[in-house]
Amino acid sequence: MNTKEIWHNLLLSLETELSKPTIATFFGETELVSLENGRARLLCPSRLSLEHLRTRYEEKIREALRTVSGQSCELTFEVKPLAPSRIQELGPIFKTADQTGLVGSYTFKNFVIGLSNQLAVSVAQAVVEKPGQLHNPLFLYSGVGLGKTHLLHAIGNQIKESAPEARVLYASAERFTSELIRAIQDRRTTASFRKRFRSIDVLLIDDIQFLAGREATQEEFFNTFNELYLSGKQIIMTSDRRPTEIQRLEQRLVSRFAGGVVADIQEPDLDMRAEILRQKAVARGVNLQEDVIFTLAEKIEGSIRQLEGTLNQLLAIASTQKISPSTELARGILQNRAPVARFVSPQEVINIVCRHFNINPEELCSAKRSQEVVLPRQIAAYLIRKINRASLNQIGQLMGGRDHSTILYGIEKIEKEIPESRFLQNQVESIRGEILGKTCS
Ligand code: ADP
Ligand code: MG
């Protein structure tokens, strides 16, 4: 895999935790330019994005990089020299949005319909047919990762497709809030903020529960809402709960929100989860066996984001290690948070730890109690427990027949000290990197 593919896979694997718009916003134009000798160089489009990645996402990037590339890396961040954007090369899903704020890859076509969302989808489609006329406002709610944001963008994209001149604007409530605050601070821009949000035909506001407790924003949103609503413009909102359940939301907003159609999305059933996996795999150009699909679909019940993220992880690992995405690999991923490592045996972990500390495995397993062997022994036990999920007894046996309580004591000691000792942290991480790197060679 070249760095571009690694980065692409990394972005896919981040989808377990982050939404596509977040990824597009913060990661879209960042590039992985090199990955050598345990050092990954990232080029960010601006200083702001660099700060953001470094302060909020460094750990996540490092972790994802380890899973995807099998290497443990130090990250360096740099700002890109001014150059034409190379975003097109990254493929369609990570395209940053234009001024509509819409992510083009969230469409109806790739939105799987099942029992859990058919009502929401049919209302959404009616809105697309006759924006502003049938169901206004439309209020969609569900738990996390069940497709609200996707559906919201799908509505916007479809309206744009049938009526390219329609002015559509997508914004999260958080974005609405932060832009409002900025506009108020610089008085000259308050008017243009209002104009932007009030001179449109379709307003899509995601995660409206964010307005809870924010009085000034609620006031502004109330006015925006009224102005649009009274002139027959379509408003669609999403939330993680129904309007009446949003705490500290002014009553007048609650009743406006509930005044149109309120539709929810439930958790998908097994068949729907399988269908989602099938379609996502096909979209990635992979022909996934039915038993692999069901291995994943049976275990991952709650969120579709997680379902998709796990599939991405499976495909990323299969492609890195040049193996097929089998049920075995799928099970490994489900059982183990650090799936790559499943392919290393406990004995190999011991060997790698010993090499790192320059002692031999017999010493590590011996009765010796000097500090040179005790620390490596405890680290090895800790890593075998984490990586191989071996039982305390198994580890004890492997290490010269030690008692399980001795092993437990050692593991707990490492766990306790890691957060306090930078040295230990570095040691453990670099060994873990060696182990994970090995599985890919
Ligand atoms: P929410 O906004 O409810 O937290 P998202 O819309 O971000 O959830 O969905 C999470 C992920 O799951 C997205 O990548 C989305 O494309 C995918 N997804 C959700 N529902 C479906 C569906 N019915 N068909 C296909 N993909 C879906
Ligand atoms: Mg969402």
> Is ligand 1 within 6 A of the CB of residue 49?
no
> Is ligand 1 within 6 A of the CB of residue 19?
yes
Atom number in ligand 1 closest to CA 110 = 25
Q: Quick one: pLDDT at residue 336?
A: 66
> Is ligand 1 within 6 A of the CB of residue 315?
no
> Is ligand 1 within 6 A of the CB of residue 276?
yes
Angle at CA of residue 137, ends 136 and 143, nearest 5°: 135
Q: Which helix (H) or strand (E) holds 74?
A: strand 74-79
Ligand number, closest to the Cα atom of 103: 1
Q: How far apart are CA 200 and CA 190, in angstroms?
A: 17
CA proximity to 208, closest of 135, 266, 166, 152: 152
Ligand number, closest to the Cα atom of 23: 1
State whether the Cα torsion 247-253-259-260 is positive or negative.
negative
Q: Determine the distance separating the centroid of ligand 2 and the alpha carbon of 32, expressed in angstroms.
A: 27
CA proximity to 273, closest of 241, 305, 238: 305
Atom number in ligand 1 closest to CA 111 = 24
pLDDT beyond 80 at 342: no
Q: Quick one: pLDDT at residue 146?
A: 96
Which of 94, 148, 150 to probe ligand 1 with, by most ligand atoms within 8 A of CB?
150
> Is ligand 1 within 6 A of the CB of residue 275?
no
pLDDT beyond 90 at 193: yes
Q: Which helix (H) or strand (E) holds 261?
A: strand 261-264
Q: Quick one: pLDDT at residue 130?
A: 96
Q: How far apart are CA 158 and CA 171, in angstroms?
A: 17
Confidence of residue 79 (pLDDT cuts 50, 70, 90): confident
The structure's pTM equals 0.63
Q: Quick one: pLDDT at residue 320?
A: 74
Q: Determine the distance separating the centroid of ligand 1 and the alpha carbon of 419, expressed in angstroms.
A: 35
Residue nearest to atom 5 of ligand 1 (CA): 147
Q: How would you classify the pairing of strands 39-44 and 138-141?
A: unpaired
Q: Determine the distance separating the centroid of ligand 2 and the alpha carbon of 151, expressed in angstroms.
A: 9
Is 116:140 a contact under the CB 8 Å cutoff? Answer: no
Is 239:211 a contact under the CB 8 Å cutoff? Answer: no
Q: Determine the distance separating the centroid of ligand 1 and the alpha carbon of 102, expressed in angstroms.
A: 15
Token pair, residue 289, equals: 């066996």
Amino acid (1-letter code) at residue 180: L
**When comparing pLDDT for 230 and 47, which is higher?**
230
Mean pLDDT of 353-360: 91
Q: Which of 4-13, 34-43, 372-381 has the highest mean pLDDT?
A: 372-381
Q: Which DSSP symbol is given to 54?
A: I
How many helices (H) and strands (E) would you count in the chain?
A: 20, 8
